[in-house]
Structure formats: C-alpha cells, structure tokens
Structure 1
Amino acid sequence: MSIEAKGTITFQSFGLGVWALAAKDVTYELFEPPTELQQEGLSVNITGIIRDDIMTVAMIGPVLEVQSFEISGS
C-alpha cells in the first residue's frame, strides 16, 4: 500500500550515510532515493511504499521506497 509523506530531506551520517525524510511525526529512511532527492534541506512530498522486508544499519525509522515525489516551494 502506498503512503504519502511531506517533510524535509536530511542526511544522517550513520556508516556511509543515509538520506531521510523528516516528516511531522516520523523520520523515514529513504531506500535508494533518486539523485534529485539527495539534497539536504529540500522540502518534498513523497509517495512510496513502507518496506517491512528490509533492515538497515541506521535503523532511524521506517524504510520508505520512493515511487514518486514533488519538490515543494520553501
């Protein structure tokens, strides 16, 4: 099932680093995010799937696989 999340892109320096979406109530760890999303401080709306079948080193929150996204104005 797809979800929609709105927030800010952050870079967390765990191991080699991980890109995340800091939403209002939760931080999502982005699974293989597109290059366009790999920008600290970017405001975005993301549609994606929560991947319960993946474990990560960072374990900062649910793993979100991006299906589509829209960059928001600041």
Structure 2
Amino acid sequence: MSLQAEGTVKKSLMGMGTWTLVTDGQTYEIHKGAPDGLLVEGQKVRVNGEVRKDVMTMAMVGPVLDVKSFEPMG
C-alpha cells in the first residue's frame, strides 16, 4: 500500500533498536535500506513509501514502512 506521510524520525530501543516515523496517528517502523540522510533523530520529514505487509521485525513497533523518498520539513 502506497503512503505519503508527515512525521518525526525517532530512534526506538525496542528489540535490537530500530528507527521509526511517528505521525499524528501512527508509528511506522522504517525498513532497512532507508535513503541517505533520513535517519536523523528528531528530524521532521514528509515521506513517500510503501507499507510492507509481507515483512515482520523483532521490534514490532508498528507497520513496516519502506521509504522511497523523503523531504525535510522546516
């Protein structure tokens, strides 16, 4: 499922540690292989990606988001 979302990138210590995108209503786990520059704690971004229903993770903090592109906000 394609997704456009705005939120804040955060590091989660769940499992072995993972990166998340926290939006107003949902927390997504950022899938491995994220674009360079995305994984910055506290960065506010607008992302385009795909929610991967075929992927499970150890952290299980939310749906897995395969980010295709992003744009920093502010």
After TM superposition, the score normalised by the length of structure 2 is: 0.92
Instruction: Give the superposition deviation at 1:2.
Output: 1.5
What corresponds to 1:3 in structure 2? 3
What corresponds to 1:34 in structure 2? 35
Mapping for residues 1-74 of structure 1, pairs under 5 Å: 1-32=1-32, 33-73=34-74
After TM superposition, the score normalised by the length of structure 1 is: 0.92
Gapped regions of structure 1 (runs ≥ 5) = none
CA contact (8 A) 2:46 2:71 kept: yes
Percent identity over paired residues: 45
Please give the alpha-carbon distance, in whole angstroms, between the structure 1 residues aligned to 2:63 and 2:17. Answer: 16
Gapped regions of structure 2 (runs ≥ 5) = none
Flag the structure with higher helix content.
1
The 4+ residue runs of structure 1 with deviation greater than 4 A are: none
Superposition RMSD in Å: 1.0
Instruction: Give the superposition deviation at 1:17.
Output: 1.0
